[in-house]
Amino acid sequence: MSEIDIARLREIRANDPEAIGTALAARRRRPVLEGDGKLFIVAADHTARGALGVRGDSLAMSDRGELLRRLVVALGRPGVDGVLGTPDILEDLALLGALDDKVVVGSMNRGGLQGATFEMDDRFTAYSAQGIVNAGFDFAKLLVRINLSDAGTADTIEATAHAVSESAALKLPIMLEPFVSDWVDGRILNDLSTEAVIKSVAIASGLGESTAYSWLKLPVVDDMERVMAATTLPTLLLGGDPAEKPLETYAKWAEALSQPGVRGLTVGRTLLYPPDDDVEGAVDIAAGLVHASQPAQTLNA
């Protein structure tokens, strides 16, 4: 995979921090939607919430140089339209020249740290809508987990509504990732039943003073036809882990991508750290599904 000059990044950050703004200003931009009107976004905002694990390795994403190398490889593959990240990651990628002609999505609320007692109080600790616009990026993203047994949810929902309103005022597309969640044995688990996802769609769709620029980011669950019938908002799919039964997972992705209103796929750790370590291969399969160049039934396990 591509080599990354980590020493150069460290030197720039220490001695020439203004180079970050220069790199952002020089970035070549593209329309959010072009060509077939589909989007394949690689997600890399997990680490800022303390979520470093992939499958059985709790620190899989802890090496920043390795993560950046994998991101640069992924962003260089045909059919990859963009990347989702927090300021630390996106600014490194800008310095590496990896954001040209890509849709760049700024992640907003990372304060609900994985495993914390305050996890449901998911504060906006990364980008604001104005910060995303100032950076010259194209899209905002937030996570809104709805836990009826945790009062911290109320603050998160209110902050989410403000973020949606601010984004609409700035004409900035914003992607809401909703879940119905609960505490189970001291951990937060998301309810991936069809009914729970439909409920989360209904709640998220009503947040903010205007939804003119609101999108959804939804998990692939059973009966996606019913899920997509619950909204008119453009939607990107959150892919599951194809490690155990890849053919089955890819077939579910392909079926869900065919639903009206679905505009593409956003996948992160499972493609950046695939079981066989073939980042190019994993990314190419997903890109082929999004842009309809690879029927699911022809894929190999």
pLDDT at 278 over 70: yes
Q: What percent of the chain has pLDDT over 70?
A: 94
150 lies in which domain range? 6-294
Mean pLDDT of 293-298: 52
Higher-confidence position of 230 and 245: 230
pLDDT of 117 strictly over 80: yes
Strands 174-184 and 187-190, by their bridges, are antiparallel
- Domain-embedded: residue 299: no
In a domain, 84, yes or no: yes
Q: How many domains does the chain have?
A: 1
Residue 220: inside a domain: yes
Assign 249 a pLDDT band (cuts: 50, 70, 90). confident
240 vs 111: which has the higher pLDDT: 111
Question: Averaged over 238-243, what is the pLDDT?
Answer: 71
Is residue 300 over pLDDT 80? no
Tens of pLDDT, residue by residue over 23-75, are: 999 999 999 999 999 999 999 999 999 999 998 889 999 999 999 999 999 99
Please check whether residue 301 lies inside any domain of the structure.
no
Name the percent of the chain lying above pLDDT 90: 89
Please report whether residue 1 resides in a domain.
no
On whether residue 49 sits in a domain, the answer given is yes
Measured distance CA(18)–CA(187) in Å, rounded? 41
- pLDDT above 60: residue 298: no
Q: What is the CATH number of the domain that holds 62?
A: 3.20.20.70
Q: Mean pLDDT in the chain?
A: 94
Q: Answer yes or no: is 300 within a domain.
A: no
